[in-house]
Copies of this chain bind each other. A is one copy, B any other.
Amino acid sequence: MGKVTGSRGSYAKTAERRRDIAQAVLDLVVEKGHRAVVTADVAKRAGLSEPGVLYHFASKDELLLAALQHFDDVELTALPEGESILRARERAVAGVERTNIVRLHTAMSGEASDPTHPAHEYFKQRWRRSNKLMADSIRQLQADGAVGPDVDADSASRLIHATWEGLQNQWLAEPGFDIGAELEKAIVALLGYPVEHVVGSPPAGRSRAR
Contacts and interface: CB of A to CB of B under 8 A. Distances in A.
Interface residues of A, number: 43
A180 interface: no
A131 B87 CA distance: 26
Nearest to A107: B110
Pick the most buried of A107, A164, A169: most chain B CB atoms within 10 A of its CB. Answer: A169
A169 B111 CA distance: 10
A170 to B, nearest CB: 6
Q: Most B CB atoms within 10 A — which of A33, A102, A108, A186?
A: A186
A190 B163 CA distance: 12
A128 interface: yes
Interface in A92-118: 99, 102-114, 117
Interface in A11-28: none
Interface stretch (A2-10, A44-52, A154-162): A154-162
Nearest to A126: B173
Contacts of A177: 158
